[in-house]
Amino acid sequence: MDFLKITEELKNDIEGDIKDFFQTQIQSIDDDVLSDFYKDIRHHTLLGGKRLRPIMCIMAYCGYSDYTNRILRVSIAFELLHSSSLILDDAMDEDVIRHGEKTFNAIYADKFLKSTRFDLNPYYDGGNWIKKDGPSKLLSMQRAISRYSYALSVLGSNILYALSAKAIRSSRFDDSLIIKAMTMHEEMYKKLNEGQLLDILMEQKGGSEEKYFDMIDKKTGILFKYPLRIGLLFSENEDIYSLDTYSSNLSRAFQVHDDILGVFGQESTTGKPVDSDIKEGKNTLLVIKTLEFADQNQLKKVNSILGNRYSSMEEIGEIKNIIKDCGALDYCIQKESEFIRAAKDSIDPNMKEKSSIFLTELCDFIIKRKY
């Protein structure tokens, strides 16, 4: 089976349906401001990404039923919800780049700044910095921009969540199945927010490997588990939990690999700055194991760089070498391989061959994403 061909075909179907779905929403809006806002969240949703979550929903469904446009419409709910979570995640992390373009909050920060016509030119003159009200004007503007862009990000995220539910309701499946799916969808959203909460608290308090994977299961894992469960629900397979072990192990491997890419990847490939995780001091598994494995000299250096937004590229290079030398990188690579083996072993042997092979090859694809 040609995994990449099938993935590309389904991706095209999914993106086509997302465009159709948004077009219907936009055509029903009379207000130009709202219409432009919906166009911005559509752009964000279609920006980059491999559409793995909707594809997983479709392939779970096709493991027991024949492909239909109804499951295609259900599947886009998970891309809309994923986009909703990314908008809020970027705003909380104050990230400005995703998929090689400006994040939603950065776009609205730009729009707000332009609308104020705030003149930055005087601040190229040092004299304006020593005037009593010089820095205060800049700080007031920064606060206003931050508040505005964050507020718009929250609203965009909320609207996308509402649209994700609407996508499921408009799928034309039997009402009894839609009601069950909506209950699961609401549960997924709640757990996703709980995972984000744990992620933020872990940054403040530090974490262990156990806490890290608990957070991953409640954040990344939720957006793997529920697309599969809901795909199985609509296929009317008797056991909608039959792929839970698969999704749990796959999501763990996905996140560990994502964390590796966040430090050792190429920005041209990942679409995000590869020094941001270190500068923000994120408690990834790489960091947790580095703090555990590093010797005293290495630990002193790590603690001086990790979480320092002003770290130089030379310092970033130093911490990368420590991550390698102390064995943290090798540990993470080994860990993701263990999860992938467990995921493959858990696939239902009674599933249709095409879906079974696809889910197996998805495992390999997850950890072969390039550094």
Q: For the chain, how long is the longest CA-to-CA vector?
A: 75
Q: What pLDDT is stored for residue 164 in this prediction?
A: 98
Report if residue 112 sits inside a domain: yes
Please report the beta strands in 54-202, taking only residues with DSSP state E, as ranges in sequence order. Answer: 97-98, 101-102
Q: What pLDDT is stored for residue 56 in this prediction?
A: 98
Compute the distance between CA of residue 202 and CA of residue 196 in angstroms, rounded to an integer: 10
Supply the angle between the helices 32-46 and 134-169 in degrees, to the nearest 10.
80
The residue written with tokens 């793997």 in the block is 224
Domain carrying residue 121: 1-174
Compute the distance between CA of residue 315 and CA of residue 325 in angstroms, rounded to an integer: 15
Report if residue 342 sits inside a domain: no
Report if residue 102 sits inside a domain: yes
User: Would you call 208 helix, strand, or coil by DSSP?
Assistant: coil
Q: How far is CA 319 from CA 11, 309, 364, in A?
A: 37, 14, 28
Pull the structure tokens for residue 3. 């995994």
Number of compact structural domains in the chain: 1
Question: In this structure, what CATH number is given to the domain that contains residue 100?
Answer: 1.10.600.10
Asked if 60 and 147 touch (Cβ cutoff 8 Å), the reply is no
Compute the distance between CA of residue 233 and CA of residue 227 in angstroms, rounded to an integer: 10
Report if residue 345 sits inside a domain: no
Asked if 283 and 209 touch (Cβ cutoff 8 Å), the reply is no
Please report the beta strands in the chain, taking only residues with DSSP state E, as ranges in sequence order. Answer: 97-98, 101-102
DSSP 124: G
Which amino acid, 319?
A: I
Which amino acid, 63?
A: G
Q: What pLDDT is stored for residue 204 in this prediction?
A: 59
Q: What pLDDT is stored for residue 371 in this prediction?
A: 55
Nearest to 177 by CA among 104, 233, 260: 233
Q: What pLDDT is stored for residue 195 in this prediction?
A: 87
DSSP 118: -
Asked if 233 and 249 touch (Cβ cutoff 8 Å), the reply is no
Compute the distance between CA of residue 311 and CA of residue 314 in angstroms, rounded to an integer: 8
Report if residue 333 sits inside a domain: no
Give every residue of the chain whose pLDDT is below 70, as ranges.
Answer: 203-206, 268-271, 371
Pull the structure tokens for residue 292. 């555990």
Q: What pLDDT is stored for residue 62 in this prediction?
A: 97
Pull the structure tokens for residue 12. 């095209």
Compute the distance between CA of residue 40 and CA of residue 348 in angstroms, rounded to an integer: 40
Say what the pTM is. 0.90
Report if residue 240 sits inside a domain: no
Per-residue pLDDT of 59-105, as tens digits, reads 999 999 999 999 999 999 999 999 999 999 999 988 888 887 899 99
Report if residue 40 sits inside a domain: yes
Report if residue 268 sits inside a domain: no
Per-residue pLDDT of 262-282, as tens digits, reads 999 887 666 677 788 898 888
